[in-house]
């Protein structure tokens, strides 16, 4: 040790020893660790008291440490957290159960009310369990307005509302609510600690959440769940956290509570499907049914009206097509029809025409004046009525010409010819198409009786019995002659006499005349008219005279001639 070192030792010995000690503590890690461990708790405490820098510094590393520790050893931390997690889970479950119980209470409450019965029906219709449906309905609500009111003086600190909400003087509302609150507290709370927490007004519910310095009043449309109160309380707590002092000192200067409305806006976020339900809400079923019934009713009335109009048109067309009917006016009043006009008595009845277009008699009122129609159908019908008409005859009218066709008795035809002009509108008659089978039968019958011969024994003596036969024949001919007139015929009778060739020819001719006269007399006596005696028959082809009894006779011939028709 030199002098300098000795001098240093003398001057700074104690300090040097201290420095050496400090150097040793700085350089030795274990010593430093002990020192830091000694002051660390106090240092953390002081730093945390000072500002939030320590928290910010530790947040990330502590978080990462915890994540790693949980991942590496979950069992240990699970065991450690068990005492905490149990109560936390129980609390959460209890909160959920309380909310659920509240909703069930509301469901039960609504189950016997008219609204509940209506919901029950709607739930059945929607195929949803009633409980679930009620929960859906009761969850519907919306916070329409939120007032933040100073508890000290009732002044409005902040106010927010949905744009559609009707707002009055919010300051007056705030003051009035405070006044009511004071009144209720002073009047009904013996120890003045009671608070007005809710009020119902029609569709709205007023909820007041009380804080130390302010009161949050929310106007809620619908039925809010009880859990909403906890949410609103959280918002009020947050507001107190940020503006507690400002609200306590609040004197009406809104600048002292900047952006408090932003916090209040959070209240308006609480709603449950109200908006979407409104937009998607369909018309109530009774209205739908009513509209449907109205639509069906209108459709029915429309169709019925169209049907009636169609029937009117059909009736008009049918009447116009019916001969002998002339419509002057046709109208409809509802389902009743009215027809006025002229009708030929022979025309089809209007009621029958109406039935043909499905209009019953009770729905039609007919007023028809009689008239005589000159339509061809009516003229033909009138001819048929006047003369009678069999199945084999018919009448047609063409212009003023009446055409009769078919087979008809001769007498009927004669009457038609004589009387057709009595029909108004008929000037001529065409019967070329008519036949008379009865007249033809008469002609045939006459032919069958023609050319009968009656024989003589000698001279003018008839073969026995022939004279009587001639008499009977004469009676028959007389009747035929009378009948012939009724069929438009005239019947003439010619008697031809004959002799044999024996004897003198002149005498024979005289004998023939005598035989003819005798026969004619017998016929005339029997009533026969129009007798003609012809020249004797001259025998030819036999030059040798001889007696032949077959040539000794008279032959009667009938001739039918049509009488001229009447003009």
Partner 1 sequence: MTQVTSKVCVVGDFAVGKTSVVERFVTNQFSEKYLSTVGVKIDTKEIDFPALGVSHKLVIWDVAGSDEFGHTEFAYLRGASGYIYVADGTRPSTLAAIEHLHSQITGQYGQTPFVLLVNKRDLSHDWSVSDEYLDAITRAYRNVYLTSAKTGDDVEDAITRLAELIIDNDMQGA
Using CB under 8 A, list all residues that contact partner 1.
150, 152-156, 169, 171-172, 174-176, 179, 182-183, 185-187, 192, 251-255
Q: How far is the CB of 181 from partner 1 (least distance, A)?
A: 9
Q: Which is nearer to partner 1, 220 or 257 (CB)?
A: 257
Q: How far is the CB of 55 from partner 1 (least distance, A)?
A: 34
Q: What is the DSSP letter of 485?
A: H
* Residues paired with residue 406 on neighbouring β-strands, in sequence order: 393, 434
For the beta sheet containing 364-370, the strands, ordered from the edge strand earlier in sequence to the opposite edge, are 325-333, 336-343, 364-370
Backbone angles phi, psi at 565, to 5 degrees: -70, 155
Q: Which is nearer to partner 1, 172 or 303 (CB)?
A: 172
CB 425 within 8 A of CB 395: no
Which residues touch 263 (CB under 8 Å, ≥6 apart)? 158, 235, 238, 239, 242
Q: Which is nearer to partner 1, 210 or 415 (CB)?
A: 210
CB 474 within 8 A of CB 493: no
Which residues touch 94 (CB under 8 Å, ≥6 apart)? none
Q: How far is the CB of 253 from partner 1 (least distance, A)?
A: 5
CA distances from 80 to 75, 83, 85, 86, 339 (A): 8, 7, 9, 11, 106
Q: How far is the CB of 193 from partner 1 (least distance, A)?
A: 13
CB 257 within 8 A of CB 250: yes
Q: Which is nearer to partner 1, 185 or 240 (CB)?
A: 185
Q: Which is nearer to partner 1, 175 or 312 (CB)?
A: 175
Q: What 3-state class would DSSP assign to 222?
A: strand
From the list 524, 415, 419, the residue with the least C-alpha distance to 473 is 524
DSSP string covering 137-175, please?
HHT-EEEEEEEEEETTT--EEEEEE-TTS----HHHHHH
Joined together, the tokens standing for residue 108 give 């039960």
Q: How far is the CB of 187 from partner 1 (least distance, A)?
A: 7
Which residues touch 240 (CB under 8 Å, ≥6 apart)? 211, 212, 213, 214, 247
Q: How far is the CB of 194 from partner 1 (least distance, A)?
A: 13
Q: Which is nearer to partner 1, 211 or 409 (CB)?
A: 211
Q: Which is nearer to partner 1, 155 or 403 (CB)?
A: 155
Q: Which is nearer to partner 1, 160 or 480 (CB)?
A: 160
Q: How far is the CB of 172 from partner 1 (least distance, A)?
A: 5
Q: Which is nearer to partner 1, 250 or 387 (CB)?
A: 250
- Could you give the CA distance from residue 457 to residue 520 in angstroms, rounded to a whole number? 18
Q: How far is the CB of 255 from partner 1 (least distance, A)?
A: 7
Q: How far is the CB of 162 from partner 1 (least distance, A)?
A: 23
């Amino acid at each position: 040790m030199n002098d300098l070192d000795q001098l240093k030792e003398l001057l700074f010995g104690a300090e040097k020893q201290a420095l050496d000690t400090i150097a040793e503590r700085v350089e030795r890690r274990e010593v430093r660790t002990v020192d830091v461990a000694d002051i660390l708790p106090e240092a953390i405490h002081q730093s945390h008291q000072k500002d939030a820098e320590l928290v910010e510094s530790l947040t990330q590393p502590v978080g990462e440490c915890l994540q790693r520790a949980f991942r590496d050893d979950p069992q240990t931390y699970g065991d450690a957290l068990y005492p905490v997690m149990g109560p936390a889970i129980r609390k959460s479950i209890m909160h959920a159960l309380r909310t659920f119980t509240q909703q069930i209470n509301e469901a039960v409450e609504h189950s016997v009310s008219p609204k509940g019965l209506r919901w029950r029906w709607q739930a059945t219709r929607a195929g949803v369990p009633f409980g679930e449906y009620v929960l859906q309905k009761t969850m519907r609500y919306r916070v329409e307005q939120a007032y933040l009111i100073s508890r000290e003086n009732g002044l409005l600190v902040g106010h927010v509302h949905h744009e559609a909400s009707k707002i009055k003087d919010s300051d007056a509302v705030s003051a009035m609510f405070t006044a009511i609150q004071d009144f209720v507290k002073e009047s009904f709370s013996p120890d003045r600690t009671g608070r007005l927490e809710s009020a119902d007004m029609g569709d709205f519910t007023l909820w007041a959440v009380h804080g130390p310095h302010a009161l949050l009043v929310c106007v809620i449309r619908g039925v809010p769940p009880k859990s909403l109160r906890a949410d609103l309380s959280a918002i009020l707590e947050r507001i107190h956290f940020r503006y507690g002092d400002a609200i306590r000192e609040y004197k009406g200067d809104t600048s002292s509570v900047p952006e408090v409305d932003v916090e209040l806006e959070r209240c308006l976020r609480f709603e449950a499907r109200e908006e979407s339900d409104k937009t998607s809400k369909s018309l109530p079923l009774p209205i739908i049914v009513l509209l449907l019934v109205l639509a069906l009713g209108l459709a029915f009335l429309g169709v019925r009206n169209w049907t009636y109009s169609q029937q009117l048109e059909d009736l008009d067309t049918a009447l116009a097509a019916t001969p002998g009917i002339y419509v002057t006016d046709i109208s409809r009043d509802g389902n009743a029809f009215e027809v006025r006009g002229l009708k030929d008595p022979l025309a089809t009845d209007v009621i029958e025409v109406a039935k043909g277009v499905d209009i019953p008699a009770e729905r039609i009122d007919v007023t028809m004046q009689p008239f005589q129609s000159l339509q061809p159908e009516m003229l033909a019908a009138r001819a048929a009525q006047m003369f009678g008409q069999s199945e084999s005859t018919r009448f047609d009218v063409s212009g003023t010409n009446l055409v009769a066709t078919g087979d008809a008795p001769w007498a009927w035809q004669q009457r038609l010819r004589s009387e057709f002009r009595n029909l108004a509108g008929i000037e001529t008659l065409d019967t070329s198409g008519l036949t008379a089978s009865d007249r033809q039968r008469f002609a045939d019958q006459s032919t069958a009786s023609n050319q009968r011969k009656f024989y003589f024994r000698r001279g003018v003596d008839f073969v026995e019995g022939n004279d009587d036969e001639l008499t009977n024949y004469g009676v028959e001919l007389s009747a035929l002659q009378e009948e012939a007139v009724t069929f438009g015929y005239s019947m003439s009778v010619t008697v031809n006499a004959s002799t044999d060739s024996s004897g003198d020819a002149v005498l024979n001719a005289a004998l023939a005349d005598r035989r003819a006269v005798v026969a004619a007399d017998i016929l005339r006596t029997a009533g026969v008219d129009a007798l003609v005696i012809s020249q004797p028959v001259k025998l030819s082809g036999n030059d040798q005279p001889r007696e032949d009894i077959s040539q000794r006779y008279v032959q009667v011939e009938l001739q039918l001639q049509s009488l001229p028709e009447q003009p």
